[in-house]
Structure 1
Amino acid sequence: MTSFYLSKPYQPPQAPQNLPLNVPWPLFGGISPDQFMKRYWHKKPLLVRGAIPAFGLSIKQNEALGSPISLEELVQFADQEEVESRLIQSKPWRFDHGPFQKKFIPNADKPDWALLLQGMEAHHPAAAKILSWFRFIPDARLDDLMISVAGIGGGVGPHFDSYDVFLIQMSGRRQWRISEQKDLSLNPKLPLKILQKFQCEQEWVLEPGDMLYLPPHIAHDGIALDSGCQTWSVGFRSPSYKELLQEGLWRLAESLEEIPDLEKKFADPKQVATACAEQLPAELITQLKRQLERLQLNRIDTLLPGITAYLSEPKQQAFFNAPKNPLSPSKFLKKLAIAALVPKPQTRILSLGNEVFCNGDNMSKNQSVAVNSAWAELSANKRLKTQRLKSIDKTSLYEAYLAGWLDFEDSRSR
Structure 2
Amino acid sequence: MPTLPSLGELSLDTFLSDYWQKKPVVLRGVFPDWQCPLTPDELAGLAMEEEVESRLVLERDQGKPWQLKAGPFSDEDFDQLPENGWSLLVQAVDHWVPEATALLDQFRFIPNWRLDDLMVSYAPDGASVGPHFDFYDVFLVQGLGKRHWQLGPKCNAQSARVKDTPLNILADFKADAEYILEPGDVLYVPPQFAHWGVAQGDCMTYSVGFRAPSHAEILDDYVAELCSRLPEHLRYQDPATAPTQTPGLLGNDALSALQALLTEQINQPQQLAQWFGKYMTEPKYLPDQGTETAPDQEALSQAAAELQEHDGPLFQAPDARFAYFESQLFANGERYECDAETAALLANTRCISGWQAQVTQPGVAALLSQLVARDLLWFEDPTAPEGEDE
Q: Work out whether the TM-score is over 0.5.
A: yes
Return closer, same or farther for 1:395/1:249 CA change in 2, 3 Å cut-off: farther
Q: Does 1:135 align with 2:108?
A: yes
Name the structure 1 match of 2:178.
203
C-alpha distance in 2 between matches for 1:267 and 1:127: 53
Q: What percentage of residue pairs aligned between the two structures are identical? A: 34
Q: For the Cα contact (< 8 Å) 1:179–1:219, is it kept in 2?
A: yes
- After the TM superposition, which of the residue ranges 402-411 and 44-53 deviates more from structure 2? 402-411
Q: Per-residue CA shift, 1:19-49, capped at 9, x if unaligned? A: 75xxxx2xx2312111110011001111122
The corresponding residue for 1:403 is: 374
Q: Contact between 1:181 and 1:199, CA under 8 Å: does it hold in 2? A: no
1:318 to 1:386, Cα distance in 2 relative to 1, 3 A: farther
The answer as to 2:318 corresponding to 1:331 is no
Letter in 2 for 1:375: A
Counterpart of 1:187 in 2: which secondary structure? coil
CA contact (8 A) 1:245 1:307 kept: no
Contact 2:26 2:188 (C-alpha < 8 Å) held by counterparts? yes
Aligned residue number for residue 284 of structure 2: 315
Match of residue 169 from structure 2: 194
| Shift of residue 237, structure 1, vs aligned partner | 2.4
Gaps of 5+ in 2: none
Secondary structure at the residue paired with 1:105? Answer: helix
Change (3 A) 1:388 1:181: closer
Deviations 1:43-94 (A, max 9, x none): 1111122221114xxxxxxxxx5x2201121111001122110011223433
Matched residues in 2 for 1:34 and 1:209: separation? 21
Q: Distance in 2 between matches of 1:359 and 1:170?
A: 29
TM-score where L is the length of structure 1: 0.77
**Deviation at 1:217?**
1.1
Moved more, 397-406 or 172-181: 397-406
1:91 aligns with 2:60: yes
Q: RMSD of aligned C-alpha atoms? A: 3.6
Contact 2:59/2:86, CA 8 A, preserved across alignment: yes
Conserved in 2, the CA contact under 8 Å of 1:163 and 1:235?
yes
Q: Where does 1:171-250 land on structure 2 (aligned, <5 Å)?
A: 171-180=144-153, 182=155, 184-227=159-202, 229-250=203-224
Structure 1 position 75 matched with structure 2 position 50: no
Asked if the contact 1:146–1:234 (Cα under 8 Å) also holds between the matched residues in 2, the reply is: yes
**Where does structure 1 lack aligned partners over 5 or more consecutive residues?**
1-13, 56-64, 257-261
Aligned counterparts of 2:163 and 2:45: Cα–Cα separation in 1: 33
1:160 is aligned, of 123, 130, 133, to 133
Matched residue, 1:376: 344
Render the CA deviation track for 1:254-307: whole Å, top value 9, x for unaligned.
344xxxxx4658799x89998999999xxx9999999878x6533455323212
Q: Is the 8 A contact 2:149 2:196 kept in 1?
A: yes
Q: Which residue of 2 aligns with 1:36?
A: 15
- Contact 1:249-1:303 at 8 Å conserved across structures: no
* Distance of 1:265 and 1:141 partners within structure 2: 35
TM-superposition CA deviations, 1:140-199 (whole Å, max 9, x none): 221111100111122111100111111111101111111115572211222322101111
Matched AA of 2:99: A
Number of residue equivalences: 370
Give the direction of change, closer, same or farther, for the CA distance of 1:245–1:289 in structure 2 (3 Å limit).
closer
